[in-house]
Structure 1
Amino acid sequence: MRILGLALAVLGVLGVAVAVAVWRQPQAALAISHWPFAWRYDPDLPVSPHTWRQLWLALAQSGVALVMLVCALFSRRWRYGLLAVAVVLAFSTQWPRPQMLLTEAHSTSYQRSPLVFSDANVLRGGRLYQAQCASCHGAAADGRGPRAASLPTWPSVLGAPLFDNRLEGELHWHVGQGGKRPSASAMHGFQAVLSADDIWRVLDYLRLRAYGTSGGAGMPAVPAPVVHLVCRDGRADSLSGLRGLPLRVVAHALEAPDQPQDPRILTIALTRGAPGKANADCVAADRGAWDAYALAAGVPPEALAGAQFMVDRRGWLRARRLPGAAPAWTSADNVCGPGGRMEGGAAGGLGELLLAMDRTPIALPQRSP
């Protein structure tokens, strides 16, 4: 009996330790291949003070019941009395309903994409989206596809709010499985026509497209698309090989003068098939690279020339300067100032931007390079 009591105590301590470890982890940092529970903790879920009080009272009552149970296992004289008290306390505990504290979860909730966030994967995701999703959600992901009006539920807009407080694995599950109940959603599951990797590609396409239209406001950080490079000193052959260095990605315009080089940053020129015409540290000549960054700018590929992007040392898109607009860097966070805007592109402005990126790094895990 004493061994059983010790085993129960050890299991209880381990369970509490695991729960606390999961709770303290940022949701975006968790990567669990199979989540075994139907619910998960969501720090953004509003919980009333009454529900919190009910939870703490239930935990306290359960704790007392556990103590009574352990004492009963070690006591011969009061064993049955303590067991009776423990049973009464355990069965009379009033726990709050799970949906008052937790949000619904799926087995894939904490899965993360195993794919590189590259121009090839993003553009393939775009082609799959146009083939499988655009008829309902619209070519521009605005919910205005040609079939939208004929559906029982109007398709959702697949913009920045889609990724706000939504785990990657849950988005993947909803695309693959569709609605929880056939009558609750007009969208059917795509698991039969899209592989797991292809669903990740579609989500990456939508993520980069949402960044392009919103500038990153109202959504988690977005990586800079990984592209193939030719560097004049041979230091790397892809964007992921430059991690640890701040980067400026420039869509080279043939008729415009070259951007002045800044020794504090590495300049990457997107040339759309003209590798030898840009004065830059590295050149991305593939058309796919150009098209991927056009998505990040929220403009058609033919209008990208002149755009610039700042990429931090961890590979995240932090700021952009769009073509044809007033000369200003803009960002979704405060690296461009409190208003998310930094006027001018002088060296002093870039210096402030670099310092701000280093002071406020993105506290999220990187994808595999």
Structure 2
Amino acid sequence: MTTPPDALWLQWLLGVLQSGQAALLQALHAVGLVPALYGQPAWPWASRLAGDTLLFDLGQARRLALTLGLLVLALVVAALGLLWRRRRVWLVVVAGLLPLLAPWPQWEAIRVAATPASFHVSPTGFEAGAIVRGHQLYRQLCVDCHGADGRGHGPLAAQQAVWPPNLAGPLLWRRADGDLFWHVLHGMRDARSGQPSMPGFADRLSADDAWALIDAMKALAAGQMLRQTGQWLQPVRLPAFAVRCAGAPGRQSGAALLGQRLRVIAPGAGQVPTPDPRVVTVALAPASGNTDLPHVDAADCEAPQADAWRALALVAGNADDPGALAGTQFIVDREGWLRARAAPDAADWQEDDLVCRAPSDASPSPSAPASATRLTALDGLGSLIARMDAEPVRYVKGGLVH
């Protein structure tokens, strides 16, 4: 999601929670106190600290931030006491009192159940090939319960102990990726009855398969979200794919384009986009192998593998008919987030094409470039660029900053 600028302190707080626990886990693994699981250190406790509740309870968030500040101050004062012998007693007393004065938050507000894989990180990078492979696995293993669209209405849904959740809703964005990974492999149980609510697939999937399946579920959920609401209510990254750039032979990966605004085009009949210096234009190779589609002369780079087209078709809600993506254009911001989409028959960019935007009550960032205001008076693409610069994506998933 894009968030208003006054939430930056909360983003910082959530980042401290995440980085502190991750650093602790790495330290424990380095000294041999925790084992590796699926190639990454395993979280050894049944719970962890997360910021899900803090996003909605700013009172608890402020108490936690103040408590952390006082604890840091106590450590500084204690360190001074060790160095300053003449005032050592007083400084040690002050250092001991500061934690007692801290407004400790309710731990229930920041403690959540954990799995051994809670801090595992996906190695795929949301790569197009992984998304396509994961979608094939989804059709084999998940459709009967979750349905082809992920909304939980598969032919076997009614036979389950608990009705399958709607994967096209915010669920995948509320769970940490590592927890999703663990549940795919080891299943889930209903918290009330204790009955299995989802089978595990550890006997049928490798770790790489499980991560690919999660990527596919995210892409499918994003596409369904866009079809149902007309927006990406949760931010979605551009799938990673190989590129071939005539003007820069060294660029072989989309990651090399990070830091630049991109215009990604799925070529369509009658489409003649013009070059634009404000964006790097990337043309997709058609998933169907149709060579009759027009060559995009305005393209700075090409994505030669058809997986890029198929992955974006999922993200755009064209899972059943990837060919329907033809003629669609996307705008990607400098951080790699998909921000705008233009329909195949669109004559020019419109403000409504911005389908990943800040909440309606959020004001533009005061730190946005002054040129952004001037751009709004120009063409449609200029207006979109101004909005994107003024409303950067600050993404929190599963209570963790990403």
TM-score (norm 1): 0.70
Deviation of residue 355 (structure 1)? Answer: 3.4
Candidates 160, 163, 181, aligned match of 2:169: 160
Structure 2 gap segments, 5+ residues each: 1-11, 26-40, 67-103, 364-375, 397-402
* Map of 2:245 onto structure 1: 231
Q: Is the 8 A contact 2:268 2:294 kept in 1?
A: no
Alignment correspondent of 1:259: 273
SS at match of 1:267: strand
Report the CA distance between 1:97 and its aligned residue.
8.9
**Counterpart amino acid of residue 320 in structure 1:** R
Counterpart in the other structure of 1:194: 205
Per-residue deviation at 1:281?
A: 1.0
CA pair 324-295 structure 1, distance change in 2 beyond 3 A: farther
2:282 is matched with 268
Which residue in the other structure is 1:297 paired with?
316
Q: Which amino acid aligns with 1:25?
A: V
Q: For 2:393 and 2:247, how far apart are their aligned partners in 1?
A: 29
The reply on whether 1:284 has 2:275 as its aligned counterpart is no
Q: Which residue of 1 aligns with 2:45?
A: 37
Cα separation, 1, equivalents of 2:301 and 2:181: 35
Q: What corresponds to 1:351 in structure 2?
A: 382
Checking the alignment, whether the CA contact within 8 Å between 1:108 and 1:173 is kept in structure 2 is: yes
Alpha-carbon distance, 1:349 to partner: 2.2
Kindly provide the CA deviation profile for residues 193-242 of structure 1, in whole angstroms up to 9, marking residues without a partner as x: 111121111111111111122236443x3221122222221342221121
User: Which amino acid in the other structure matches residue 349 of structure 1?
Assistant: G
Query: How far off is 1:165 after superposition?
Result: 2.4
Cα 1:233–1:100 shift into 2, 3 Å = closer
**Aligned-pair CA distance for 1:137:** 1.1
Residues 10-46 of structure 1, C-alpha deviation per residue, up to 9 Å, x if partnerless?
xxxxxxxxxxx98653659975643232222233327
Contact 1:297 1:322 in 2 (8 A): no
Q: Does the CA contact (< 8 Å) of 1:35 and 1:106 recur in 2?
A: yes
2: CA distance, partners of 1:288 / 1:308: 17
Task: Give the Cα–Cα distance (whole angstroms) in 2 for the partners of residues 120 and 146 of structure 1.
Answer: 28
- 1:332 aligns with 356
> Do residues 25 (structure 1) and 16 (structure 2) align?
yes
**What is the aligned partner in structure 2 of residue 77 from structure 1?**
none
AA paired with 1:228?
A
Which residue among 204, 207, 220 is the counterpart of 2:218?
207
Give the conservation status (yes or no) of the 8 Å contact 1:176–1:189. Answer: yes
- The question of 1:246 aligning with 2:257 is answered no
Q: Which residue of 1 aligns with 2:151?
A: 142
Cα distance in 1, alignment partners of residues 154 and 189 from structure 2:
23
Deviation at 1:49, TM superposition (A): 8.2
Q: Secondary structure at the match of 2:170?
A: helix
CA distance in 2 between counterparts of 1:166 and 1:349 reads: 36
Q: Give yes or no for contact 2:187–2:199 (8 Å, CA) kept in 1.
A: yes
Native 8 Å contact 1:318 1:335 kept in 2: no
- CA distances 1:72-117 after superposition (whole Å, capped 9, x unpaired): xxxxxxxxxxxxxxxxxxxxxxx99965652111221122101132
Distance 1:142 1:288 in 2: 24
> Percentage identity across aligned positions?
36
1: distance between equivalents of 2:213 and 2:156? 20
The alpha-carbon distance between structure 1 residues 26 and 301, as it changes in their structure 2 partners (threshold 3 A), is farther
**CA distance in 1 between partners of 2:236 and 2:121 (Å):** 14
Pairs within 5 Å for 1:174-189: 174-180=183-189, 183-189=194-200
Question: What does residue 3 of structure 1 align with?
Answer: none
Which residue of structure 2 lines up, in the alignment, with residue 222 of structure 1? 236
Distance 1:247 1:350 in 2: 12
Instruction: Name the residue aligned to 1:309.
Output: 330
Do the aligned residues in 2 keep the contact of 1:160 with 1:218 (CA within 8 Å)?
Answer: no
